[in-house]
Structure 1
């Protein structure tokens, strides 16, 4: 379970450290920074897949996403004033579990004469034991092109001349001297983030798909029917039936297969035939997609849902909350929502974000010293 998340220098987040629980609900007004926190988690997941540099380039490079305010925080209630930067541009992301953590520091490239000028450089990476990357707990460190690991006999070099766009999690994950790298990569690759589940008229989930077992929901929800059928054949038919009954009393889910292709349909009281996928409302389809994410055969270490209440009628929120709470019994779940009723229904640990002088902070904190400890390694 992820116990601590740290973000520095990203969009409206100058410096934020939060502790997480098995079920964490992130709330706040529009513009408070909820989406920034979600996107930072997505970037961390990209680290596990070796896509962090490319993902930032697609967003416009580091200049497009970095903290735009002053280097030092302002006092509460004072307006933000522009200042000339004295320190290096830096985007830092980190997570910690009870056993292992990972932190990355990205900056602007030294050589700007390149066609790939939107690519940031990986300045540092650290894999560590404990709640944050203190020097004593660092197991593997990478500083620019040099990577080394701590052994009983002291530090041992793993590689030199690493490319500034290549992560040690990708390049050295199989190194026999640093098994912790494989553990950190496995942790990040075990996350599932959902915020782009399409429900429009041309959504992939409305189209027949090849009937083949599916252990996890695709990012666009295309394999919805296959994920639900896989769950049924693995013995979770009662959980699925309960999810349908809670949301649509008296209804029954159908997963017809025609010519090797399958889709979803919903039989409802008073209807002479089941409604097919193209006929389902956006809210109904959204609920089925989220149910599939919670019931997938592959149980991720972390599920992150960004505004799952989208398109849902208020009457469906209790059923959705029940699905999320049930999933949180075996999988850590983070829900980012601006809907107060869903937040109340979910319970769990509540983190409310707000803006102070343009900076995203946790509501109720008195200042930087009132947040969990985190020690970023100096460059």
Structure 2
């Protein structure tokens, strides 16, 4: 289970370090930084896939994602005695992301390239340093692997820090290029954990949504990010997953309803029988809310539980009556996987907050900077460049 998440210099997230639990709720008003926090967690996951630089580029490059406020926010600015104003930047440009779980911690520091302005790719961020350590917080004694510039060193079985990569490209992470069963086993273990994180925020339910139409199906233990393989994912749960939990989740939300999957020439199609109807409904006939609930059920009841699932505003298009069943569905999933829920739906938040092992972080902004109410930050230290 992830115990701590940390981000510095990303959009309105100037410097936030907060604890996580089996269920972590992120709430706040529109514009408080919820979406930025969700993106920062997803960006950290992209590091393990080797896609972090491309993801940042898609957001407009490092300059567009960095903290846009002044480098130093004085007390006088907070009191309103003086206007918010900047000065000549003294510190280095830096975007930092990191987390710590029960075994290991990892952090990455990205900055502007040394050859800025001399290449067509001069706006691409450069990985300045990385660190992997044992325990909850980095220290001099517990670092297992570290990267500064192009060099990566790991701690071997004899307690010696040996170089394993000497010329790592500035856009490549040690997570993808130094993980090795012999000299970088911990990197390999943590990388695979991060690659198994799942994010759901674009589950389409419009008239042209992929989930509404028959698709060629194969065994699908993990629902895709766009939900296009819904029928195959639900059939996989019915065959090798928790069929009873799925049936209970559907009956909880739609009393008396049930689902079945039919196959024609290899194409899988989902049908839903609702109480009082003489025939089952096809997915093209389902309401947006009904389809979204089924998509979330397929994601959360996966027969291959993820170490972490992050849901961004799962309440979208759901009728208020479905929010408490959704909370119970999330609680069921949290028995096997850690869940982060970003939401502003009070009924869902209240139902989840009542669950055991749930922590609630409410975000607000002060002078453009995202803050967390009543936060007692865990111990944390960023790696040095």
Structure 1 consecutive aligned stretches of length 4 or more whose deviation exceeds 6 Å: none
C-alpha displacement at 1:373, in angstroms? 2.0
With normalisation by structure 1, the TM-score equals 0.96
C-alpha displacement at 1:263, in angstroms? 1.6
Matched residue, 2:151: 146
- For 2:148 and 2:215, how far apart are their aligned partners in 1? 46
2:141 paired with 1:131: no
Matched residue, 2:374: 364
Structure 1 residues not aligned, in runs of 5+: none
- For 2:275 and 2:360, how far apart are their aligned partners in 1? 38
The two structures, once aligned, show a CA RMSD in angstroms of 1.3
1:306 equivalent among 299, 308, 312: 312
- For 2:367 and 2:159, how far apart are their aligned partners in 1? 49
2:51 paired with 1:51: yes
- 2:374 is paired with a residue whose SS is coil
Matched residue, 2:106: 102
Q: Is the CA contact 1:101–1:131 (under 8 Å) kept in the aligned structure 2?
A: yes
CA offsets 1:243-269 (integer angstroms, 9 cap, x no match):
111111111112121121112121112
**Length, aligned pairs only:** 375
2:293 paired with 1:287: yes
1:92 equivalent among 91, 96, 101: 96
- For 1:117 and 1:254, how far apart are their aligned partners in 2? 53
Matched residue, 1:61: 61
2:164 paired with 1:158: yes
CA offsets 1:213-259 (integer angstroms, 9 cap, x no match):
10101010011011110011015221111111111111111212112
Superposed, 1:253-272 pairs within 5 Å as: 253-272=259-278
- For 2:161 and 2:202, how far apart are their aligned partners in 1? 43
Matched residue, 2:7: 7
Q: Is the CA contact 2:27–2:363 (under 8 Å) kept in the aligned structure 1?
A: yes
C-alpha displacement at 1:185, in angstroms? 0.4
- For 1:20 and 1:179, how far apart are their aligned partners in 2? 26
Structure 2 residues not aligned, in runs of 5+: none
- 2:2 is paired with a residue whose SS is coil
With normalisation by structure 2, the TM-score equals 0.94
2:349 paired with 1:343: yes
